[in-house]
Amino acid sequence: MTVGGSAVGLERAADAMSPDAVVAKRSRRVRFRWGVRPGTYRDALRHVEFRHLIATYFVMAIGQTFGTVAMAVAIFSRTGSAGWVAAIAAARVLPYILVPGLAGVIAARVPRRRLLMWSAAARAALVAALALAVAAHFPPLALVALAFFFAAFGTPCYPAMAAAVPATLTAEDLAPGNGLLTGLETLSFIAGPALGGLALLSGSPVAALLVNAGIFVVAIGLAALLDAVPAPRAVADSLKSELLAGARAMKTVPELAAPVVLVVVVNLTYAGALVALVLYAEDVLSGGADFGLLNAGLGVGALLGAMMTNRLARSQSQLFVLGAVTLLAGVPFALLGGVSSTVVAAALMVPAGAGCVATEVLAVTLVQRVVSRERVAHVFGLLDSLIFAALFLGSVIAPPLIHAFGVRVALATLGGVIPAGALFISVRFARSASRRLDESVAERVALLRRLPWLHNALAPTLEALAVEARAETVEPGARVIEEGADPDDFFVLVSGALEVLRRTDGREDVIATLAPGAGFGEVGLLQQVPRTAGVVARERSVVLRISGDRFVATVNAVAAAAGGTLGGGLLGRLGVEIGPA
């Protein structure tokens, strides 16, 4: 609640409660220096906790892919069967698909540091067990089972990161911070198999897998440096209800439909197109070398996409921008059907890679902005399952599509028809969501937009707050806030008049009067201190009550913006499972 005895006092209070000041005040992570401009990569890296977080995740991502080559070589040398190689690769994907949402429930229930430490420890033990199983010539089914559990213990890390990163950065630094995460994860999925291959050249699969276990031991040490942040409050008491919490949020929050549909379809399109590109390079271009050039074009585009999303994420027309980059992700693949030049084909892959990454970045950003803090891990756990299912489905449908219609038609279908259809569906969802905003909700959005803390919030975020807010009538003399009480919610005065009271020498003095449109209750929430003043109704009034946790999460994400996906690295993710959360 902004209270002061003068206009100067009000102005100073407002400055002190800006989103960046709040995050800096509450955290030891920022050390300000002259000459460092907010909203840059350098500025994001000055947050100590963020540096620890991305270092931990980077090492874990390398560890997740380091043993890929060694596992494949070990099981092939044991069986001589490509089928068993495919089986161990599938075992690393299935945990993400079999129990949708379970990883999100775990991420929501377990504190971040403990979760990452136990995940790294379990994977260190499992990959060491894999090394022993290879050395002891265990049956191939045992190797597949160990690979399955190895992947399973890594599934909660992505939703945990999705929920953690916004809490470690100021609002201005979210964009470059998320860009760093995306780049590092993409790099890890290139570096991991490469380093694993080098280890295999200098030793046996057993030695490479033992080195892999050592990488996770390093990750345990890095995770131990993280702050011991408690897990968010659970959405529901029962495990069954929490497993459904992500799906329930996607069903009940209309703003989620478009980004979820588009990011899932883009992953499906990319996975299918990647399969088709192999045959396209062989049949239309000059073979394997040209396939390498096509992939290089995609890689360059991915880096450009991660860079440009910092600006795109600031747009107030997020759904329009998301639709545009979705088409950018697909149309170049469709155009390949009429191209026979390697140079032109490689050039087309640059915007395709940029569009794929930008779609995932913007979709995840939108999800972060409209989902409450208590549900964000649940939603990202389910979203991760949907993305991996899309990757799997895309790689499965491409071969029969190519066999039936040829590689050119297959690329046109994957690159044009599927994204266009998804775009049409998502627009329908968006219009449906708009129709749900009745006149009273629209008025609430306008009221929230005028508040200094929410002025730059995106429309979907304000609409979600407006729908969740509860209107309460306060009779004259009734207290809305008691001085000294624990902070719970944020309030906006819709009609009537309220008085702000403060105790001095045993009596209460009126220090301010609030008129319709005023917001109050933010000081206790943002500074995490008891209420600094009381608020009482001078006349019959109507106030909007907004969840304090949701208000704080919105304020911390409201400034110029979250521009990257948390470990989204679409190219990297494909590199692991089909081959960059």
Q: Say if CB 246 and CB 260 are below 8 A apart.
A: no
Express as a percent the part of the chain with pLDDT over 90.
11
pLDDT at 128: 94
Q: Say if CB 61 and CB 187 are below 8 A apart.
A: no
pLDDT at 294: 83
Give the H or E element holding residue 566.
none
pLDDT at 355: 87
Give the fold, CATH level 3, of 39-231: Growth Hormone; Chain: A; (1.20.1250)
Q: Say if CB 127 and CB 213 are below 8 A apart.
A: yes
* Phi, psi of 396, rounded to the nearest 5 degrees: -85, -40
Give 528's Cβ-side CA count (13 Å radius): 7
Q: Which CATH architecture has domain 235-435?
A: Up-down Bundle (1.20)
pLDDT at 92: 83
DSSP string, 428-495: HHHHHHHHH--HHHHHHHHHHHTSTTTTT--HHHHHHHHHH-EEEEE-TT-EEE-TTSPP-EEEEEEE
Give the H or E element holding residue 541.
strand 541-547
Return the residue matching tokens 């002190």: 16
pLDDT at 304: 82
Can you give the length of the chain in residues?
Answer: 581
Domain limits, CATH 1.20.1250.20, in the chain = 39-231, 235-435
Long-range Cβ pairs for the range 329-332 (8 Å, 24+): 329/266, 329/269, 329/270, 329/355, 329/356, 329/358, 329/359, 329/419, 330/266, 330/269, 330/355, 330/414, 330/415, 330/416, 330/418, 330/419, 330/420, 331/415, 331/416, 331/419, 332/415
* 217-232: pLDDT as tens digits: 999 999 998 886 665 5
pLDDT at 11: 30
SS (HEC) of 379-439: HHHHHHHHHHHHHHHHHHHHHHHHHHHCHHHHHHHHHHHHHHHHHHHHHHHHHHHHHHCCH
Cβ neighbour number for residue 20 with a 10 Å cutoff = 16
Q: Exposure string (b/e) for 508-526, b if CB count within 10 Å is 16 or more?
A: eeeebebeeebbbbbbbbb
Q: Which residues pair with 541 in a beta bridge?
A: 474
Q: Say if CB 539 and CB 496 are below 8 A apart.
A: yes
Cα 538 to Cα 540: distance, rounded to the nearest angstrom? 7
Q: Say if CB 414 and CB 276 are below 8 A apart.
A: yes
Domain limits, CATH 2.60.120.10, in the chain = 457-557
Q: In angstroms, what CA-CA distances link 204 with 73, 142, 159? A: 10, 19, 34
pLDDT at 314: 61
pLDDT at 578: 31
Burial of 26 by CB count in 10 Å (0-12 exposed, 13-18 middle, 19+ buried)?
middle
Which tokens belong to 505?
């020498």
* 404-458: pLDDT as tens digits: 888 888 888 888 888 888 888 777 766 655 555 455 677 888 888 888 777 777 6
CATH number of 457-557: 2.60.120.10
Cα 534 to Cα 510: distance, rounded to the nearest angstrom? 9
Return the residue matching tokens 């049949």: 283
Cα 568 to Cα 358: distance, rounded to the nearest angstrom? 10
Q: Say if CB 355 and CB 328 are below 8 A apart.
A: yes
Please indicate, yes or no, whether the overall pTM of this predicted structure exceeds 0.85. no
Cα 446–chain centre separation: 28
Cα 287 to Cα 144: distance, rounded to the nearest angstrom? 33
Helix residue spans in 284-375 (DSSP H): 288-312, 318-335, 342-370
- Is 192 in a helix, a strand, or coil? helix
Q: Is 506 left (phi over 0), alpha (psi -120 to 50) or beta?
A: left
Cβ neighbour number for residue 207 with a 10 Å cutoff = 15
The list of the chain residues with pLDDT below 50 reads: 1-38, 234-236, 437, 559-581
Give the H or E element holding residue 579.
none
Residues sharing a CB contact under 8 Å with residue 34, sequence separation 6 or more, in sequence order: none
pLDDT at 145: 93
